[in-house]
A and B are shown apart, each in its own frame.
Chain A
Amino acid sequence: MASALKTYGTLIGFVLVVLFFWIEIPDTFMTAKNWLNISQQVSMLAVVAFTMTVVMVMGDFDLSVGSMASLAGIVAALAFRDGHGVWVGVALALVIGLLGGLLNGALVAYVGILPFVATLGTLTVYSGLAFLVSGGKTIFGRDIPTAFSGFARSGLRLGESVSLPSLTIVAALVLLIVWFVLEQTTFGRRLYAIGGNKEAARLAGIRVRRLRFLAFGLSGFGAAAAGLMYASRVASANPTQGSGLMLDAIAAVFLGMTMSEEGEPHVLATLVGVLILGVLGNGLTQMSIDSYVREVLIGSIIVLAVAASSIGKAKG
């Protein structure tokens, strides 16, 4: 019983937060429309957090995801401005994301730099590149094709006034793919083995370097996808717009990790972490509570959740 509570404490906390908002905002919170809204609002963070989970499974971090998201948006917008089609811009941005991620992977796995340091370095490089190629300006207006900005406003109609947003569908697909890769393939099991003990994994014949290299590639690719989603949602690209994603993504993964007996990240748990962040933002706005309260609450919840689960572990 106690161990179930320890594992599910964060989930129960999430449910209680939802119940709290349901009671306080009875008319509008617990509606399909609002939840579809929330799903769309968290979709960009979700994609970054899901792919961040892949590297955090190995005990690594990728601090460069926020600036990669910005860079990807800028690259696509510049391609649009030069008259290329939507798919060319999107493909170019995703390739940049993959290459940037693989560069992180190479620095970490083959050069042997600590992920914290390597990705802190590339964070600065990617951010600088975003400023460099854009000239520091926001690209918006006629330069952004309506087919691109329209994507974030489109969706699958579910009824009269509700539709499943396209951004939500993208996030759900990424969730499905990451879940499959991590939980259902040997690739995923090996990543968890690396996270458990790198040396043991290597001695057991796992090609640790190559797997870390590839995992970082996935994280960069996800960051670029999120950057494109962001650019589509705001119909513009700005060299700093993705920078808020990185810390929130790491926070979401940490919140999720408190739900695992071993303290391992799992992508479905990351989803709960993402939803906690999203629901707090949505509910507190609807209750007209100061937006800075959200920051204080989220920080406190992370510390409390992690503290509770580690106290429980120390006793057990």
Chain B
Amino acid sequence: MTATLRKRLSTAALFLSAVFAAGTAAAAGKIAVITPYLAQPGTQFYVEAFQAAAKDKAWDVNVIDTKGDVAAVISRLEDAATQKVDAVVINVDPAQVEAGLAAVKDAGIPVVGMDAGASPYLVTNVTSNGYAMAADTAAYVANRIGGKGNVVMFVFDAFPPVQVRGVIADAVFGNNPDIKVLDRVTPDVSDGGIADSRAKMEAILAANPDKGSISAVWAAWDQPALGALQAVEAAGRQDEGIVITGIDANPQAREAIAAGGNFEASMAQDFHGIGKAAADAVAQTLSGKPPKSSVIYVPTKLITADNVKD
């Protein structure tokens, strides 16, 4: 028994020290990157780009994934404060982890948000400009239909980052006197948003049966745009020139845009750019010159059939 115990412990100790030795490179700074969302593709891209940038700066980066557990983010923030890292980067809603952010602030450690949301606890938050993304696609719609026609909007005002997109699209369409917003639909997103958007769009198509009675569909994100596309195609009205746009340019949306059908445009966020800009913000903060703005926007790109394959 004693032998088993000794073996058990020495194995664990060996394992630990091996991992530990691998983790201690010559470090110009110790950075903890904490997120519950590492399993999501966008977050993976940010983190990879951040790590690549950190390598050039010879930082010792510890990526901590709490696998969806937000309370564990607070715990890990407290640990980072105890450990006295040089900076912390988070990818989670700051309002939900304020208890941990307070501990980090008390320890005098700066926190940079990587698409996290605005908070007084953050030096800055690096993200995509939701206003600009909505302006780009809404302007694309307005120009494509020549500033004239009926537009169906898919919005989601309950979620602040998506709500701002709807406000901007309202402004763009409102500035075109001959554009009429036929309906401002909030789809049920519990099934992912495509199915219910399709059902809602089918009802709108049924209520407006004449060719040309619907000029465009502007969606605040890709799923409703995909649902609307399915409805238009199922109704056999794909040749009426109905212009559909989304935002996020997810793989399914890119496929639809590349197919050259009604789904014409979406916005791609520059996830790598966000990760790199977050690393730059950390570097500036560590050198004693933190970024002035509480939000840093990384440019986004309009994706159409012309550039979807790039």
- Do the beta carbons of A140 and B71 come within 8 Å of each other? no
Tell me the minimal C-beta distance from A169 to chain B in angstroms: 16
- Do the beta carbons of B5 and A9 come within 8 Å of each other? yes
Tell me the minimal C-beta distance from B43 to chain A in angstroms: 14
The residues of B that contact A140 with a CB separation of less than 8 Å are 93, 95-96
Question: How does the 8 Å CB contact mask read for A212-237 relative to B, with 1 for contact and 0 for none?
Answer: 00000000000000000010011110
Residue A259 lies at the interface, judged by CB distance under 8 Å to chain B: no
Residue A304 lies at the interface, judged by CB distance under 8 Å to chain B: yes
Residue B78 lies at the interface, judged by CB distance under 8 Å to chain A: yes
What separation, in Å, do the CA atoms of A235 and B9 have in the docked complex? 39
Given contacts A9-B5, A308-B1, contact A234 B74 (CB under 8 A): yes
The residues of B that contact A236 with a CB separation of less than 8 Å are 70, 95-96
Given contacts A230-B71, A236-B96, contact A2 B15 (CB under 8 A): no
- Do the beta carbons of A289 and B19 come within 8 Å of each other? yes
- Do the beta carbons of A37 and B79 come within 8 Å of each other? yes
Closest A residue to B15 using CB positions: A297
Given contacts A24-B20, A281-B75, A289-B20, contact A135 B190 (CB under 8 A): yes
- Do the beta carbons of B69 and A244 come within 8 Å of each other? yes
Stretch at the interface among A12-20, A114-122, A202-210: A12-20
What separation, in Å, do the CA atoms of A244 and B96 have in the docked complex? 17
Closest A residue to B75 using CB positions: A41
Question: How does the 8 Å CB contact mask read for A9-43 relative to B, with 1 for contact and 0 for none?
Answer: 10011001100100011001001011001001100
What separation, in Å, do the CA atoms of A136 and B2 have in the docked complex? 51
The residues of A that contact B141 with a CB separation of less than 8 Å are none
Interface residues in B26-77 by Cβ distance below 8 A to A read 30, 32, 60, 62-72, 74-76
Interface residues in B207-241 by Cβ distance below 8 A to A read none
What separation, in Å, do the CA atoms of A179 and B84 have in the docked complex? 37
Given contacts A5-B5, A20-B16, A289-B20, contact A137 B71 (CB under 8 A): no
Question: How does the 8 Å CB contact mask read for B172-194 relative to A, with 1 for contact and 0 for none?
Answer: 00000000000000000110000
- Do the beta carbons of B70 and A16 come within 8 Å of each other? no
Given contacts A135-B190, A308-B1, contact A235 B98 (CB under 8 A): yes
Residue B109 lies at the interface, judged by CB distance under 8 Å to chain A: no
- Do the beta carbons of B97 and A234 come within 8 Å of each other? yes
The residues of A that contact B199 with a CB separation of less than 8 Å are none
Residue B82 lies at the interface, judged by CB distance under 8 Å to chain A: yes
The residues of B that contact A290 with a CB separation of less than 8 Å are 19, 23, 62-63
The residues of B that contact A12 with a CB separation of less than 8 Å are 5
- Do the beta carbons of A41 and B2 come within 8 Å of each other? no
Secondary structure at the A interface, as helix, strand, loop or mixed, is helix
Given contacts A241-B71, A311-B4, contact A136 B190 (CB under 8 A): yes
Tell me the minimal C-beta distance from A2 to chain B in angstroms: 5
- Do the beta carbons of B79 and A233 come within 8 Å of each other? no
- Do the beta carbons of A291 and B1 come within 8 Å of each other? no
Interface residues on chain B, number (Cβ under 8 Å):
47
- Do the beta carbons of B65 and A292 come within 8 Å of each other? yes
- Do the beta carbons of B8 and A308 come within 8 Å of each other? yes
Residue A152 lies at the interface, judged by CB distance under 8 Å to chain B: yes
- Do the beta carbons of B95 and A141 come within 8 Å of each other? yes
- Do the beta carbons of B5 and A285 come within 8 Å of each other? no
Choice from A20, A41, A135, A297 contacting B78 with Cβ under 8 Å: A41
Residue A197 lies at the interface, judged by CB distance under 8 Å to chain B: no
Choice from B1, B5, B74 contacting A233 with Cβ under 8 Å: B74
Residue B162 lies at the interface, judged by CB distance under 8 Å to chain A: no
Choice from A13, A240, A285, A308 contacting B83 with Cβ under 8 Å: A285
Residue B80 lies at the interface, judged by CB distance under 8 Å to chain A: yes
Given contacts A131-B190, A235-B96, A291-B65, contact A5 B2 (CB under 8 A): yes
Residue A53 lies at the interface, judged by CB distance under 8 Å to chain B: no
What separation, in Å, do the CA atoms of A11 and B75 have in the docked complex? 24
Question: How does the 8 Å CB contact mask read for A135-175 relative to B, with 1 for contact and 0 for none?
Answer: 11110110000000100110000000000000000000000
What separation, in Å, do the CA atoms of A131 and B63 have in the docked complex? 30
Choice from A13, A17, A137 contacting B5 with Cβ under 8 Å: A13
The residues of B that contact A244 with a CB separation of less than 8 Å are 67-69, 72
The residues of B that contact A311 with a CB separation of less than 8 Å are 1, 4
The residues of A that contact B32 with a CB separation of less than 8 Å are 285, 288
Instruction: Report, nearest first, the 4 A-B pairs whose CB atoms are least far apart.
Output: A288-B62, A285-B79, A41-B75, A286-B83
Q: List 29 A-B pairs, Cβ < 8 Å.
A: A6-B1, A9-B5, A16-B9, A28-B83, A31-B82, A37-B78, A41-B78, A44-B71, A131-B190, A140-B95, A233-B71, A234-B96, A234-B97, A235-B95, A235-B99, A244-B72, A282-B75, A285-B32, A285-B76, A285-B79, A286-B82, A287-B20, A288-B32, A289-B20, A290-B19, A290-B62, A292-B65, A308-B5, A311-B4
